[in-house]
Structure 1
Amino acid sequence: MAYFNGVAYTGKSVDQLTPLFIDWERSSGTDIGLEAGFLDNRLSIEADYYNKITERAIFEIPVASDLGLAAAKQVGNQADLRNRGFEFTANWRDKTEGGLTYSISGNFGYNQNQVTKVVTGRNPIYSGGEGLANGSLATRTVLGRPIGEFFGYKVDGIFQNAAEVLASAQKDAQAGDFRYVDQNGDGVIDGKDRVSLGSPNPKFNYALNTTFAYKNFDLSLDIQGVAGVSIYNANLGVRYGNENFTEDFFKNRWHGEGSSSTYPSANIGTTKNSAPNSFFVEKGDYIRLRNVQIGYTLPSNLLNKWKMQKVRIFANAQNPVNLFGYKGFSPEIGKPTVGNYTPLSAGIDANVYPLYATYNLGLNVTF
């Protein structure tokens, strides 16, 4: 009920748009595997090829904001997706004459993600605005491409002076701004000049797991990583809360003619500098020591005196070593802290909390 000049008027408004019918997601596919053992099963391998189709995937997509909805999004059956690739695992277990027992297991996988059908037909779905400045949308989902791929302008340097601006297709730019590539050569920088900038879906993943035991000592190591993946570092263009510029950006920023040809000025968070572009997209490859643990089990003859079956002392470290080139806190981007997560906003680092390392000592006692 609404009131006008103290008079009540009945009425209602629609603030959510719900599809008349939502069907179940369905999965179908082909999986071909091979398992084999050699050398008295000291060496075992597994090889697997898969082609999985997810039909009628359910997630949110943006809709026109002028519809008057509380959130300009609609949940429904949006697309069909295909994930195709292979996985390979090899494991070696053995014991030496000196009494060392050990196992080494490694796996490697390759995956290709592709949209095979989408409700918008050949029209792209633009999304990925969670945490970005000026309401920009950094991802595109379109038939034949990976879901939620990054999409924007290709940066071709930094304007150094007003003369370069006047000679370019960006007449409204200023010195220190990004210079974008005029992809179609029409002399104007607009939405038609945007291109694919990378995918948040890793192509490769790998891991190595090892265990060693010698007399009363034991050691285990777990290593994991991904490759062929991109991250959208939205933190660089969002400086309106409690954030600050990173040391890398501050030292390398453009602050006068000739000072930088790769980093823009501190005006990065406003105007067209904050538009999705290749500067914000970085390689997300990493290799990480997930876990390392060393332990010592007290001799049994000593435990018999204490009427104990087993006493083991150990030291453990989780995520102690991380190797990556990404300029953010961590290349392992989970769900964004702003907005609801959908596959269309994966890989966007907008204040994602950094991964932390944990170190602990422990004692296991068995009576």
Structure 2
Amino acid sequence: MFIVKKTTDLLIEKNAALATGYEKGWANVGAVRNQGIEITLDATPILTKKWNWTLNANIGFNRSKVLDIGPGDEMGFDPGVIPGSGNFVMIRKNKSLGQWYGYKIDGVYASQHEINEQGLTEVLGQKIASIRPGDYRFRDQNGDGKITSADLVLLGSGEPDFTGGLTNTVSYKNLSLSVAMQFSYGATVFNANLHSLTSGRDGHNQIAEMNTNSWSPTLYDADGNVFFAGNNEAKYRMPGGVALNYCTSKMLEDGSFLRIGDITLAYALGKKVAKKVGMQNIKLFASVKNLCVFTKYTGFDPEVNTRQGQTGDLMPSLDYSAYPRNRSYSVGFNFIF
């Protein structure tokens, strides 16, 4: 099935002219086109008197494209999750929705030699003399020797490359087992929780990995012998330093996943047994929902969007203190009268 949908006169909150006396105002501007294809497969690989196996699968590909955003070719939004960060969700003409723009980080400076070798004079308003080993190494995208807003680049998109599901139901005589799975591939999740949880600053809770994977220097005794090896290959910067109130590649994660969503085991007692109690059939079942998720995402759940409504459509896959999905178990009976 091929799908094409065009939406016009989108209701978006924009900055208002100062002469109005208001900071923001709502306007009907722009147009977005969504197009894609969905493929569905229903099959019965095994069908005998005792055995039955049915398979239901689907996969969908969807691409959004901004056709018009009114005056200008781009519009920025601040999700409100990093104080003072400004707009880092961008809507650009002829591009898809949900694009995250920020600074690319290439690891952590291991030594003063690495700082000098990069040849920067300024990093986000700080003179290079203030940068120390253990600070993040930002990529100079335009090669001007400074890290400024000119080095902002596309870090990822909240839209997946494809999504889908697979349900297998296998039965033997009166016993059946059904397993439903869903998957998504290619979305980039903005894990805003990491801004605070990996900041290395006082007054902020930190993830446990900060204790083992933060940069620390190698220390020597008076005789020149190493008595503390340090961690020069760390994932995170040395605790302390200035607040990094910016969107960086450290906060963007692969949101691909495979979820085992629903498993149900059922047993039908049969019509003979059911007729004895005045029914057509009785089925006993036990099920579990949201059993597990296979993913590289470090948050609770990669299938997340904590901004709902209009803003949620513009910035999908934003995780900011999202409550995890619950896992539920149930047992019961189905009575057919």
Give the TM interval when normalised to the shorter protein.
0.7 to 0.9
Task: Describe the shift of the 1:193–1:50 C-alpha distance in structure 2 as closer, same or farther (beyond 3 A).
Answer: same
Match of 1:200 among 154, 158, 163: 158
State the Cα distance separating 1:256 from its structure 2 match: 3.1
Task: Describe the shift of the 1:321–1:78 C-alpha distance in structure 2 as closer, same or farther (beyond 3 A).
Answer: same
* Matched residue type, 1:168: L
Q: 2:256 aligned with 1:285, yes or no?
A: yes
What is the aligned partner in structure 1 of residue 222 from structure 2? none
* Matched residue type, 1:366: I
What is the aligned partner in structure 1 of residue 148 from structure 2? 190
Q: 2:213 aligned with 1:262, yes or no?
A: no
Determine the C-alpha separation between the residues in 2 that align with 1:205 and 1:217. 31
Q: How does 1:101-120 map to 2 (within 5 A)?
A: 101-120=52-71
Q: How does 1:22-171 map to 2 (within 5 A)?
A: 48-61=1-14, 69=22, 72-93=23-44, 96-122=47-73, 124-162=74-112, 164-165=114-115, 167-169=119-121, 170=123, 171=128
Q: 2:216 aligned with 1:251, yes or no?
A: no
Determine the C-alpha separation between the residues in 2 that align with 1:75 and 1:292. 46
Instruction: Check the 8 A contact 2:157/2:188 in 1, yes or no.
Output: yes
- The TM-score normalised by the length of structure 2 is 0.83
State the Cα distance separating 1:352 from its structure 2 match: 1.1
Determine the C-alpha separation between the residues in 2 that align with 1:241 and 1:361. 48
What is the aligned partner in structure 2 of residue 39 from structure 1? none
Match of 2:296 among 316, 320, 325: 325
Q: How many residues align?
A: 314
State the Cα distance separating 1:50 from its structure 2 match: 2.8
Instruction: Check the 8 A contact 2:170/2:178 in 1, yes or no.
Output: yes
Task: Describe the shift of the 1:138–1:174 C-alpha distance in structure 2 as closer, same or farther (beyond 3 A).
Answer: farther
Matched residue SS, 1:266: coil
* Matched residue type, 1:200: G
What is the aligned partner in structure 1 of residue 322 from structure 2? 352
Matched residue SS, 1:303: helix
Task: Describe the shift of the 1:65–1:323 C-alpha distance in structure 2 as closer, same or farther (beyond 3 A).
Answer: farther
Q: Deviations over 1:251-289 (max 9, x none)?
A: 212233643343223348x53x33111111111100111
The farther-off stretch of 244-253 and 147-156 is: 244-253
State the Cα distance separating 1:334 from its structure 2 match: 2.1
State the Cα distance separating 1:180 from its structure 2 match: 1.1
Task: Describe the shift of the 1:156–1:340 C-alpha distance in structure 2 as closer, same or farther (beyond 3 A).
Answer: same
Q: Deviations over 1:303-360 (max 9, x none)?
A: 33222332211111111020000111110112339x9844333222111111221111
Q: 2:254 aligned with 1:304, yes or no?
A: no
Structure 2 unaligned spans of 5+: 219-230
- The TM-score normalised by the length of structure 1 is 0.76
Q: Deviations over 1:26-82 (max 9, x none)?
A: xxxxxxxxxxxxxxxxxxxxxx2233222222233456899864xx54322232112
Q: Deviations over 1:197-256 (max 9, x none)?
A: 110011211211222332211221211111111011111112599972222343212233
Give aligned-pair identity as a percent. Answer: 27
Matched residue SS, 2:274: helix
Determine the C-alpha separation between the residues in 1 that align with 2:87 and 2:190. 11
Determine the C-alpha separation between the residues in 1 that align with 2:185 and 2:67. 24
* Matched residue type, 1:74: G
Match of 1:313 among 258, 272, 284: 284
State the Cα distance separating 1:162 from its structure 2 match: 4.8
* Matched residue type, 1:131: V
Task: Describe the shift of the 1:135–1:192 C-alpha distance in structure 2 as closer, same or farther (beyond 3 A).
Answer: closer
Determine the C-alpha separation between the residues in 1 that align with 2:167 and 2:12. 35
* Matched residue type, 2:120: S
Task: Describe the shift of the 1:343–1:307 C-alpha distance in structure 2 as closer, same or farther (beyond 3 A).
Answer: closer
